[in-house]
Amino acid sequence: MPFARNALDASRVYFEDEGDDGAAVVLHGGLLDSVDLVRASHIAQALQGLPDKFRLIYVDHRGLGQSDKPHDAKAYAMPLRVADAVAVLDELGIESAHFTGKSWGARHGFGIGEHAPERVLSLVLGGQQPYAIDPDGPLAPSRRLWPPLRRQVWSPSSGRWRGSLVPGSRTHCGRRGSTTTPQPSGQRGAQHLLKARSPKTLGHGKSDVLST
């Protein structure tokens, strides 16, 4: 299996290499896009039609597909993610490459451009931006729209959720008196929007996994 090993934390990164002699292009998809989905993307299909010009390299993000899936949130800091991309280039003996990415793949691309610019020939990125979101700024969710977290208990007699505020919380877990049909606890927990404070810049090396 084609794996590269991250030099910083020894995590394995899965990739697939077309192996042609053209200029290397590393393709990263969105947060949930495995290699198969990236291969089927429009930009990948367009590049596949030019095999004599480009060497296509598809990569699974860490935590996705066949790449390693660390459980510690700190393992998803941007410098570690960038080291994944560098590990793939090193494994293939490639000095520098073109990087394409969409959504989270674009966020990753901005990180590669910041932390490993010497390995970049070009960046083709879409559906993202390189800046951290100020949690108190105009792009952050309104506190009026996202009320504090409540402990929710379903009341069969009233057909409503009932709950009390969780002290210190600023996230949303349904509105008081919601008539939402009850769900298994695992699904209900998945609906909670967890507060994520982005680093001031990508260069601070903090976990950037929930940034948008």
Domain count within the chain: 2
- Return the pLDDT at 193: 27
Average pLDDT, the chain: 76
Residues 160, 110 within the same domain = no
Q: Is 211 among the domain residues?
A: no
Residues 50, 88 within the same domain = yes
Residues 170, 93 within the same domain = no
Q: Is 68 among the domain residues?
A: yes
- Return the pLDDT at 83: 97
Gyration radius of the chain's alpha carbons? 21
Backbone angles phi, psi at 124, to 5 degrees: -120, 100
Helix, strand, or coil here: 31? coil
Residues 42, 125 within the same domain = yes
* More confidently predicted of 136 and 106: 106
Most confident of 2-11, 174-183, 198-207: 2-11
pLDDT band at 132 (very low <50, low <70, confident <90, very high): confident
62 exposure class (CB count in 10 Å sphere: 0-12, 13-18, 19+): buried
> What is the spatial order of strands in the sheet that 120-126 belongs to?
3-5, 12-17, 54-59, 23-28, 97-102, 120-126
Q: Is 141 among the domain residues?
A: no
Residues 47, 125 within the same domain = yes
Is 61's pLDDT higher than 60? yes
Q: Is 145 among the domain residues?
A: no
38 exposure class (CB count in 10 Å sphere: 0-12, 13-18, 19+): buried
Q: Is 111 among the domain residues?
A: yes
Q: Is 71 among the domain residues?
A: yes
Residues 111, 16 within the same domain = yes
Residues 112, 55 within the same domain = yes
Residues 128, 50 within the same domain = yes
Beta strands at 120-126 and 54-59: parallel, antiparallel or unpaired: unpaired
Mean pLDDT over residues 7-21, rounded?
91
**Distance between CA atoms of 112 and 102, rounded to whole angstroms?**
14
Neighbouring C-alpha atoms within 13 Å toward the C-beta of 40:
6
- Return the pLDDT at 146: 44
Give the range of the structural domain holding residue 76, as residue numbers without chain letter: 3-133+200-204
pLDDT band at 69 (very low <50, low <70, confident <90, very high): very high
Measured CA angle at 49 (ends 43, 50), to 5 deg: 100
Q: Is 212 among the domain residues?
A: no
Residues 63, 156 within the same domain = no
Q: Is 60 among the domain residues?
A: yes
Residues 96, 9 within the same domain = yes
Residues 36, 72 within the same domain = yes
Residues 59, 163 within the same domain = no
- Return the pLDDT at 138: 64
Kindly report the CATH number assigned to the domain that includes residue 16. 3.40.50.1820
